Amino acid sequence: MVPMESKRDQHDNTTSPQTNKNAPGSDAGFYAALALVGQVGLFIALPMVFGALFGQFLDRTVHDSAPIATIFGLLLGLAAGVFLVVRMISRLPQ
């Protein structure tokens, strides 16, 4: 004879609704993709802006005419942004 508690546990597992992100009527997948695009944009843009601003600060304090530090800061920010995007994409679930 099966105890009553185990029958109740079996029924609770079968009646719980499961949500599917990729269901045709669900917008969860769309919003997840939109959030991913926003993160990629921020991960590229923000390091570039901070690198350019820091390079511009260095150009104003150390050099007077050549924007070498600004260009170097911009490229370094781009490299940091690409690194962040690659790291974020490698951590995504398959």
- Backbone φ and ψ for 27, nearest 5 degrees, come out as -100, 5
- Side-chain half-sphere of 39: how many Cα atoms within 13 Å? 13
Compute CA 45 distance to the chain's CA centroid, rounded to the nearest angstrom.
13
What's the confidence (pLDDT) of residue 29? 86
Which DSSP state fits 23?
-
Q: What is the pLDDT along the chain (94 residues), one digit of tens a residue?
A: 555 555 555 555 555 455 555 556 668 888 988 988 999 999 999 999 999 999 999 999 987 778 999 999 999 999 999 999 999 999 888 7
Instruction: Give the pTM.
Output: 0.65
Separation between Cα atoms, residue 36 and residue 44, nearest integer Å: 12
Instruction: Locate the domains of the chain by residue range.
Output: 30-94
What's the confidence (pLDDT) of residue 39? 92
What's the confidence (pLDDT) of residue 23? 59
What's the confidence (pLDDT) of residue 17? 54
What's the confidence (pLDDT) of residue 28? 82
